[in-house]
Amino acid sequence: MKLARWTAGLLAGLSMLAMAAQAYAGEVRVTVAEYSSKTGPYFEEVKKEFEAANPGTTLKFEVVPWDVLLQKLTTDITAGTNADLSIIGTRWLIDFVQQGVAEPLDEYMTPDFKGRFIETFLSPSIMEGKTYGLPIAASARAMYYNKELFEKAGIANPPSTWTELQEDARKIKAAGAFGYGIQGKEIETDVYYYYAMWSFGTEILNKDGSSGLSTPGALEAAKLYKSMIDEGLTQPGVTSMNREDVMALFKQGKVGMMITAPFMMNQIKEEAPSLKYGVAAIPAGPTGARGTYGVTDSIIMFKNSKNKEEAWKLLDFLFSTEQRAKFTQNEGLLPVNKEEAKMDYYTKDAGLAAFTALLPEARFAPVIPGWEEIAQITSDAVQKIYLGQGEPEATLKDAAAKANGVLKK
């Protein structure tokens, strides 16, 4: 029995368990991703406020860690026991739309409601002319640099090109720290490589829709990172470090430069308040091209929801300026709401301003089915290159062929 529980029960057992959960009238169930330890308490408060204002409606929030969110949704949907609303990564949205799981929201949205959003962040959730999700969280990436290490190494300004970044990394290495932190493990390993790739003029997908990995720009970027690893300009053991590991090194003052999300500012405030750091744009390539990674998470309504009216009321409540500001500032994200973006909190903060300045150059994960698989293929390829297990050119060509195979499906 033990045997079957492990192998076969993986998919089937979960669905049996879930049968017990039934929807009650007037109850809105919401699956929310856990951004930080503040996420749960925030939604607890939402529950209190919303239920007080809307007697007869009860809210039930399920807070799920990001790592297992997609797995939970997959099993829930398979068993037909999904919640009414859920936060998802916008990059997954196309799968939900194609499978007919997500409900279009346009008939609920008034022009006034639509006008609340910053266009850049709402557009990734619009597919085939219909809005399937609302951007509940938005983020972008920029370069953090350690001012103290820069001073020690005799560098005046943060690098504006990758060549300068390489130079600066050498100087920081000479000063006894790691120059540029590279993430080489787990989620977003591929994205860390795209930062360089975009600067060399390559996009994830070529204009004809094929994978960009076999272009010269992709090769340049791979060679750049590989040469920096070989020269010892990065932290050692790149492929054993996930994003949080590199961020930990930066907070300890061991890494001169790294690219990551705005929420690290909140973390530094709490964990390393004495760290002197700055936020700058992502370095540009030889032609001046550069790109940052833009991410939005969407909250979607499921087609099989039985309480759509109440669910919409909750969405309306969540996207009020006041609620948005609370959530965004808690989690260290970027504002998605126009009114919210005008608040002093965002305009007066140099770090956040640096992030918002990069937004026009933000690339979002391409909206294609099978995107997760392509991300996985790319991560595997760059790991091989970082480890020296494959020649950059051959490895990238191989990965491009695999990615094209996925794209053709």
Partner 1 sequence: MYSRALPYLLILPSLFLAAVVIFWPVYDLVQISTHDVSRFGQLRDFIGLANFAALADDPDFMAALWRTGLWTLSVVAGALVLSIPVAMILNSDFYGRSVARVIILLPWAVSLTMTAVVWRWALNGESGMLNSALMGLGIIDQNIQWLASASTAFPMQVLIGVLVTVPFTVTIFLGGLSSIPDDLYEAAALEGASGWQQFRTITLPLLKPFINIAIVLNMIYVFNSFPIIWVMTQGGPANSTDILVTYLYKLAFRVGKLGEASAVSLVMFAILLVFTMIYVRLAMREREA
Length reported for the chain: 409
Q: Output phi, psi for 195, to 5 deg.
A: -50, -45
DSSP states of 186-206 as a string? STTHHHHHHHHHHHTT--SB-
Out of 84, 95, 188, 203, the residue judged to bind partner 1 by CB under 8 A: 95
- For 406, phi then psi, to 5°, come to -70, -40
Nearer to partner 1, 333 or 375 (CB): 375
Q: Which stretch binds partner 1 (CB under 8 A): 110-118, 191-199, 326-334, 376-384?
A: 376-384
Q: Supply the minimum distance, in Å, between the C-beta of residue 321 and partner 1.
A: 35
Residue with structure tokens 């979960």? 14
> Using CB under 8 A as the criterion, what x/- string covers residues 186-205 for binding partner 1?
x-------------------
Nearer to partner 1, 236 or 273 (CB): 236
> Which residue lies nearer to partner 1 by CB, 68 or 353?
68
Site string for partner 1, 99-118 (x = CB under 8 A): x-x-----------------
Among the listed residues 379, 380, 376, 385, the one whose alpha carbon sits nearest the alpha carbon of residue 406: 376
Using rule CB under 8 A, residue 174 touches partner 1:
no
State how far Cα 205 lies from the chain centre: 18
Among 78, 320, 321, 329, binds partner 1 (CB under 8 A): 78
Output 11 or 174, the one with its CB closest to partner 1: 11
The token duo for 194 is 């795209």
Residue closer to partner 1, measured from CB, 289 or 401: 401
Q: Which is nearer to partner 1, 34 or 372 (CB)?
A: 372
Asked if residue 294 lies in contact with residue 139, where contact means CB atoms within 8 angstroms, the answer is yes
| Shortest CB 289 distance to partner 1, Å | 28
Residue 59 in tokens: 């809210």
Out of 81, 199, 214, 383, which residue is the one contacting partner 1 (CB under 8 A)? 383
> Considering only residues 207-266, where is the footprint of partner 1 by CB under 8 A?
235-241, 245, 248-249, 252, 254
Contact between 372 and partner 1 by CB under 8 A: the answer reads: yes
Question: Of residues 28, 381, 400, 403, which one binds partner 1 by CB under 8 A?
Answer: 381
Query: Which residues ranging from 2 to 31 are in contact with partner 1 (CB under 8 A)?
Result: 2-13
77 lies in the binding site for partner 1 (CB under 8 A): yes
* Site of interaction with partner 1 (CB under 8 A): 1-13, 70-71, 74, 77-78, 95, 99, 101, 184-186, 235-241, 245, 248-249, 252, 254, 370, 372-373, 376, 379-381, 383-384, 386-387, 389
